[in-house]
């Protein structure tokens, strides 16, 4: 009895030690134990309390911390809907890759375009950035500021899953530097109800477009809304008039610096453009509006048309979404091939990326069938990945695909098809023309001087 009691007490003390040890770091430390011993002596029970100091190494399970390697991602998708979907995709990636989380910075679209050169020369630069295919990416590729991601293309099977045209626009000298993720078409979007009320059918020729402007003006309706506060909206008019008047091959050669801005064919573009001013086709004081601000008259039914990319549907008021449709830019010379603008957006990695491995992992996700399916379902963008189910495309998207499939040549956009310096001068010239259409000759002389300087090394 005596010995058993003592053993029990000692065992309890050991258990107590174990419990204490679970709460402290693993290191040798003196532990004070109060031990109670029961002694029997000549019919008497004597309780003895002993204080014993012992040294014990307490072992605890150490928590394992995995190293986290964030990916710095700068995005220009600042408009509400593109931003929502962009953040949704980043969240999905982060949930699937907790060891390589993406730190996303979203910058206003126009501010991003101004800041991208500073981003690229920073050390370290953001790992991944949004950008445009075509010459806008090629400009930075040629300067060694964009990382070769041919290995990602190969590992992900994109050489087979992406159509040849998209692969070509992503490549330089057989190497891939760009990840195209979505594209959209340009057209003249219009309010169906206004056309129906005025007995107007979508114009198919230039003369029909001018007549449509006249009819709408007679009813007090603004024919075409536009916001030229940011110049690229005006550049769309130059693109289409040039392609419809002189053909898409001439337009592309002009963008590549192979044709002169003082060529009579270029002057004819501006003269044709002047006809739209003469027929009061545009909203007054267009330079006071951003492209989003210029949507307000369309939403209110005060304006009927807007030459814009398909992304216009992201920002059209919800109550008029079903009243929006589009038609192909009217024909000017029926003998010319059909050219269309279909800008392609995507991603690239900085040559100065700090986390190249994590950035490539993020690109692999953004270029996947899964991510591009979400872009279709949530944003209505047309995917580049051929594995996306075409049954997801709504009637407007199917119509847009047919529009592009019916083109003889597809180009990007004025400021994507030429160099940044030429695009900047060109769009300044367009705005000068908008202010004073009679200054065509001086404007074109200035543009030709810029062209000769910018493309001097290639001539």
Quick one: pLDDT at residue 68? Answer: 78
SS3 307: strand
Measure the CA–CA gap between 151 and 137, rounded to whole angstroms.
Answer: 19
- One-character DSSP codes across 408-442: SEEE--HHHHS-HHHHHHHHHHHHHHHH-GGGHHH
Torsion of CA 236, 165, 175, 72, to 10 degrees: 60
Quick one: pLDDT at residue 436? Answer: 95
Quick one: pLDDT at residue 457? Answer: 60
Quick one: pLDDT at residue 169? Answer: 84
Which single residue is written with the structure tokens 């192979």? 258
Tell how strand 175-176 and strand 171-172 pair up: antiparallel
Q: How far is CA 121 from the centre of its chain?
A: 20
Assess contact for 257 and 453: CB atoms under 8 A. Answer: no
pLDDT in tens, the chain (459 residues): 444 444 434 444 444 444 444 444 444 445 444 444 444 545 554 544 444 454 544 444 445 556 778 999 999 999 899 999 999 999 999 999 999 999 999 999 889 988 999 999 998 899 999 999 878 888 899 899 999 999 999 999 999 999 888 888 899 999 999 999 989 999 999 999 999 999 999 999 999 999 999 999 999 999 999 999 999 999 999 999 999 999 999 999 999 999 999 999 999 999 999 999 999 999 999 999 999 999 999 999 999 999 999 999 989 999 999 999 999 999 999 999 999 999 999 999 999 999 999 999 999 999 999 999 999 999 888 999 989 998 999 999 999 999 988 899 888 899 889 988 999 999 999 999 999 999 999 999 999 999 999 998 654
Tell how strand 175-176 and strand 344-349 pair up: unpaired
Quick one: pLDDT at residue 168? Answer: 83
Query: What are the angstrom distances between the C-alpha of 65 and each of 25, 62, 101, 447?
Result: 16, 9, 15, 60
Measure the CA–CA gap between 353 and 69, rounded to whole angstroms.
Answer: 13
Strand partners, 345: 132, 182
Query: What are the angstrom distances between the C-alpha of 49 and each of 12, 17, 355?
Result: 15, 18, 63
Assess contact for 307 and 240: CB atoms under 8 A. Answer: yes
* Long-range contacts formed by 369-378: CB under 8 A, 24+ apart: 369/161, 371/89, 371/92, 371/181, 372/181, 372/182, 374/85, 374/88, 374/89, 374/92, 375/85, 375/89, 375/181, 375/182, 378/84, 378/85, 378/88
The CATH superfamily label for domain 186-341+413-458 reads Periplasmic binding protein-like II (3.40.190.10)
The domains spanning 71-184+343-387 and 186-341+413-458 adopt the same CATH topology: yes
Q: CB neighbours (10 Å) of residue 95?
A: 9
Assess contact for 418 and 454: CB atoms under 8 A. Answer: no
Q: List the beta strands (DSSP E) in 58-92.
A: 71-75
Measure the CA–CA gap between 79 and 251, rounded to whole angstroms.
Answer: 30
Which single residue is written with the structure tokens 């005060």? 302
Query: What are the angstrom distances between the C-alpha of 137 and each of 143, 158, 195, 321?
Result: 10, 19, 40, 33
Assess contact for 146 and 351: CB atoms under 8 A. Answer: yes
Cβ partners under 8 Å of residue 271, min gap 6: 440
Measure the CA–CA gap between 148 and 349, rounded to whole angstroms.
Answer: 8
The CATH superfamily label for domain 71-184+343-387 reads Periplasmic binding protein-like II (3.40.190.10)
Quick one: pLDDT at residue 17? Answer: 44
Nearest to 281 by CA among 207, 212, 350: 212
Assess contact for 283 and 213: CB atoms under 8 A. Answer: no
Q: How far is CA 285 from the centre of its chain?
A: 30
Nearest to 336 by CA among 204, 246, 404: 246
Q: Domain locations in the chain?
A: 2-57, 71-184+343-387, 186-341+413-458
Torsion of CA 276, 313, 310, 329, to 10 degrees: -30
Cβ partners under 8 Å of residue 24, min gap 6: 58, 60
Cβ partners under 8 Å of residue 152, min gap 6: 158, 176, 179, 360, 363, 364, 367
Quick one: pLDDT at residue 33? Answer: 46
């Amino acid at each position: 009895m005596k010995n058993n009691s003592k053993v029990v007490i000692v065992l309890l003390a050991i258990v107590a030690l174990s419990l204490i040890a679970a709460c402290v770091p693993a290191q040798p430390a003196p532990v004070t134990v109060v031990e109670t011993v029961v002694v029997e002596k000549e019919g008497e029970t004597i309780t003895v309390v002993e204080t014993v100091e012992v040294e014990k190494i307490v072992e605890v399970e150490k928590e394992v911390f995995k190293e986290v390697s964030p990916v710095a991602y700068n995005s220009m998708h600042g408009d509400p809907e593109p931003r929502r979907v962009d953040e949704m995709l980043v969240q999905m990636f982060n949930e699937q890759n907790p060891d390589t989380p993406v730190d996303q910075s979203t910058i206003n679209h126009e501010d991003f375009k101004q800041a991208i050169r500073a981003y690229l020369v920073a050390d370290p630069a953001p790992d991944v950035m949004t950008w445009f295919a075509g010459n806008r990416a090629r400009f930075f590729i040629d300067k060694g500021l964009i990382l070769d991601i041919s290995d990602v293309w190969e590992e992900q099977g994109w050489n087979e899953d992406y159509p040849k045209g998209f692969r070509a626009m992503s490549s330089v000298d057989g190497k891939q530097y760009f990840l195209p993720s979505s594209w959209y078409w340009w057209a003249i979007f219009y309010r169906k109800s206004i056309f129906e009320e005025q007995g107007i059918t979508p114009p198919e020729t230039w003369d029909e477009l001018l007549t449509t402007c006249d009819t709408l003006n007679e009813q007090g309706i603004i024919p075409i809304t536009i916001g030229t506060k940011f110049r690229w909206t005006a550049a769309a008019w130059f693109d289409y008039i040039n392609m419809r008047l002189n053909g898409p091959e001439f337009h592309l050669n002009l963008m590549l610096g192979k044709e002169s801005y003082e060529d009579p064919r270029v002057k004819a573009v501006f003269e044709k453009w002047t006809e739209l001013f003469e027929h009061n086709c545009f909203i007054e004081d267009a330079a006071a509006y951003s492209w989003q601000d210029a949507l307000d008259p369309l939403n209110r039914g005060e304006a009927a048309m807007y030459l814009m990319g398909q992304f216009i549907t992201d920002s059209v008021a919800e109550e008029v979404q079903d009243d929006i449709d589009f038609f192909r830019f009217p024909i000017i010379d029926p003998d010319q091939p059909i050219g269309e603008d279909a800008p392609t957006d995507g991603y690239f990695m900085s040559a100065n990326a700090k986390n190249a491995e994590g950035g490539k992992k993020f690109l692999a996700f953004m270029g996947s069938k899964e991510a591009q399916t979400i872009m279709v379902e949530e944003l209505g963008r047309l995917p580049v990945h051929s594995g996306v189910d075409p049954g997801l495309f709504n009637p407007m998207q199917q119509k847009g695909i047919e529009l592009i499939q019916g083109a003889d040549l597809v180009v990007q956009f004025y400021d994507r098809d030429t160099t940044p310096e030429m695009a900047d001068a060109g769009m300044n010239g367009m705005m000068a023309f908008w202010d004073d259409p009679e200054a065509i000759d001086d404007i074109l002389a200035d543009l030709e001087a810029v062209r000769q300087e910018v493309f001097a090394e290639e001539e």
